Amino acid sequence: MALTLRRGVSTADTDYGIALLDEDSGEYYTLNPSAALVLRTLLGGATTDQAIEELARQYAVDGTTAARDVEALVGDLHAAGLVEPEREGRP
């Protein structure tokens, strides 16, 4: 599942990853380099499985750990309302 940031969410690359600003609430979130890699990968149109593979490759972690981390990040982004909701029937 590729991700799309919700309208009103901006990103900025930092020395330590990515900062996300929710322009509606004024809240900002910081992602470390590994989370930034996953976000960039998913925003680029990759599937969750591809993001897991990329995280495992770049950070030399096992697939189970990478899958847990990617799923946690995606869940956190949805819970914070930073990404578009998933729609059924979407490829």
Q: Of all helices (H) and strands (E), which one includes residue 52? A: helix 48-59
pLDDT < 70 stretches in the chain = 1, 87-91
Per-residue pLDDT, 89? 45
What is the Cα 13 distance to its own chain's centre?
Answer: 13
Q: How far apart are CA 33 and CA 17, in angstroms?
A: 4
Per-residue pLDDT of 65-89, as tens digits, reads 999 999 999 999 999 999 998 764 4
Q: Which two tokens stand for residue 80?
A: 């914070």
Domains and CATH numbers, the chain: 9-79 (1.10.10)
